[in-house]
A and B are shown apart, each in its own frame.
Chain A
Amino acid sequence: MYLSTVSRPATDPPDPGPARPGRRIALVSGNVIALGTVSLITDVSAEMVTAILPLYLVLGLQLSPLAFGVIDGVYTGATALLRVVGGFVADRFRRRKLVAGVGYALSAVAKLGLLLAGRSVPAIGAVIAIDRLGKGVRSAPRDALITLSTPPESLGRAFGVHRMMDSVGAFLGPLVALAVLLAVGQSYDAVFVASFCIAALAVVVLVLFVRERPPGTATDDSDQVRVSVREALGLLREQSTRRIVLAAGLLGLATIGDGFVYLLLQRREDLDLRWFPLLAVGTSLAYLVLAAPIGVLADRVGRLPVVVGGYAALGVTYLLLAGPVGGWPLLALALGLYGLFYAATDGVLIALAGPVLPARLRTTGIALVQTGQALAYLGSSVLFGLAWQAWGPQTAIRVAAATVAVILLVTVVLLAPGFRLVTRRVS
């Protein structure tokens, strides 16, 4: 098992210089394992709630859940803004761990909020918003900590291991929720309390084991001057940063969203609707299995080719949804490729972006990349909905596949000059 080789923390400080050949089998740093553990535990907690929330709203509270769709767009915008602000605060006060911790704590508290919200739809909406806010605030400082505690040449591996641990948690969450429900009957409250306790444990692990900076790293001189708003704004004036944020946004435009992919797959196959949730499980499984090996591959062959490969897998997934293959081969191929897309892009893109961003503004930069991607994705899912309405699903998905191809070309042109610097290795 891969994890057994990474249990010993690497003691060497991150080395911004060329990699030394002897560290080929470099381990993942203790900080990455600690962050991975925090993510794993948090995802168990989050997915427990995800799994039972519909049951709770519809059968527990007897609410009409269609009223909840309305809140979506507004919060996505607000979260995007707060994510960047949180990233800046983390950089300015050099408290990435603290900001990430606040994000994890917010989501933990939201679990208890579900208990207190009762049958009030606005209160439940607010609690879900707080949870989402916590998720938005924590991801940039967490990813910044990963990049800051890993030598640049091992970033792919580090993100691969982190995302793998994250997906293991997501995979276990629903099972834990069902186990709790089995043990206590239909008491959803017990699931929320258990979910809160698990989330709180994740915060404890973060406080105890995650380090703001790797041991032995002297704070370099540039760290003595606080990051200013002006400097943060200047980030977008750097050509390399602008390119990576632009590319992330463009790539975000290429994704139409899980909901549409699974819906098209279900319609194509006229799949029994009861199996619908299993489509997401299939994708996570592929993601879980592929994340670490693809991260390692990205360190060897370069991150840009892997990201490009990932988006190519996305394009092929779209084509499959419109193509001649059907039946089980289609399901297996489409879900496998879709999981491959996630494994080759989610963490690897941040591994690609990290070294391009100055260390003092790493969190702000990563927040910009993630926000650009999230906003672009929101736009593209709306556009895809309109395309579906105008041309029907089959044409819409072909157009989406063509869009992926065009965006990939532009991305390669945008990033190719920069990426040569990033993936420089000495053999």
Chain B
Amino acid sequence: MSAQPLLCARGVWKFFGDFAALRDIDLEIAPEATLALLGRNGAGKTTLLRMLAALSSPSRGSITARGEPLRSENYRRRIGVISHDIWIYDELTAQENLDFFAGLYGIRKAAVRISQWLEITGLARVRHRPAREFSRGMRQRLAIARAFFHEPEILLLDEPFTALDDQAAGLLRGLIARPSGQPRRTIVLSTHQLQEALGLATEVAVLDRGRVAFRGPNTEDLRASPGDLYKKFSEPTP
């Protein structure tokens, strides 16, 4: 049912000591939406994404995926994450890295899937070289393979374009933009780069100092004057 939200955050607070990184977040994300999560540094985007990636729990409130808590193994099996960090073992080869994660995610017929994705990310020729030898762009492409190859229903991308080289960026853009033949995914994409985000997203949420300052569909107006987004929906600094 497309009406029911896939991800649902209710009254979520996250404290680090006494500091509230997230304040009373109410957020719903529909299936197959591509949500651009925008906001300044320190607004809470990474904190929220880490929670969605089941890396931390809310201090108050709850986040669920179709009613399931996010720490459930069922949910974790259906997410793919691209983080600031690479999440790749330097000492293992590209093939071994993907083999390992295939095992963790319980992928059947992993060998075929891995070969496919090594092709897609242009790493087929170096599949038996340790990741330590790769260039930065190659490592990022391996991370993309790791995040996508188990065909997750939900993708969580934390500022993925910041450090990608052109080849990797193009690849990722293509994967997000949902070409035909690709399975339908729900994507949460946090980024600084407004133009990029608005070009790919169907929905927009702006975080400002831990609160949801704006939530709505990605419209022509927004695309026309993206700079206004922050001005309109951020509290002025006292």
A-B interaction: no
* A residues lining the B interface (CB < 8 Å): none
* B residues lining the A interface (CB < 8 Å): none
